Amino acid sequence: MADVDLKEYSRRMDGALEALRREFSGLRTGRASTSLLEPLTVEAYGAAMPINQVGTIGVPEPRMLTVQVWDRGMVKAVEKAIRDSGLGLNPQADGSLVRVPIPELSEERRRELTKVAGKYAEQARVAIRNVRRDGMDNLKRQERDHEISQDEHKHLGDEIQRLTDDHVKQVDDLLAQKDKEIMQV
């Protein structure tokens, strides 16, 4: 029998869904949350580092985030990362503390956030399709090396495609749910 582990492909596709859920948790819907800034990376010491590795993210009040930057020289880089994130936030530095007020969501801003959510969903779809491509390439190689028959190749290929379709549908469902949440006033 073939050396193809469908559970492994499913696990990798589930990983893409999990990453999407984390990204969606960072999209704000009105209330400040540390998960809003966690996906951001900061240019620090010649490398891109997650923001939580250069400072502590806090929520002192419902409409305010703070980043207590550990290295005072990194304050400008943290400000720049937040400003350029596409989240529509305007950070202000106060010594080694970066304050990030969370503005009310306007209709226009809500539409922008749904576009960001769409980009995240598309990245998840691409990740899932990459897993499918890996699986299909593996099947082709095994058939070429006479480890599996053409019938097994076709059957397993159909199974991998079914897994892919299921996971892409879950991405679409998550996106629809997040869009509804963002547009809710």
**Span 2-47, pLDDT tens digits:** 466 889 999 999 999 999 988 887 776 666 778 778 888 898 888 8
Q: Are 96 and 114 part of one and the same domain?
A: no
CB 174 within 8 A of CB 20: yes
Q: Token pair for residue 153?
A: 């190749």
What share of the chain in percent tops pLDDT 90?
A: 48
The pLDDT of residue 31 is 66
Residue 82 lies inside a defined structural domain of this protein:
yes
The pLDDT of residue 35 is 78
Residue 1 lies inside a defined structural domain of this protein:
no
Q: Are 97 and 128 part of one and the same domain?
A: no
CA 20 to chain centroid, in Å, comes to 4
Q: What's the domain range around 87?
A: 31-101
Q: Are 125 and 84 part of one and the same domain?
A: no
CA torsion sign for 146, 149, 150, 153 is negative
Q: Token pair for residue 180?
A: 């509804």
CATH number of the domain enclosing 110: 1.10.132.20
CATH number of the domain enclosing 47: 3.30.1360.40
The pLDDT of residue 99 is 92
Choosing from 101, 123, 152, the residue where a domain stops is 101
The pLDDT of residue 1 is 44
Which stretches of the chain drop beneath a pLDDT of 70?
1-4, 28-31, 185
Residue 72 lies inside a defined structural domain of this protein:
yes
Q: Are 116 and 154 part of one and the same domain?
A: yes
Q: Are 94 and 119 part of one and the same domain?
A: no
pTM to 2 decimal places: 0.67
Q: Are 172 and 130 part of one and the same domain?
A: yes
CA 104 to chain centroid, in Å, comes to 23
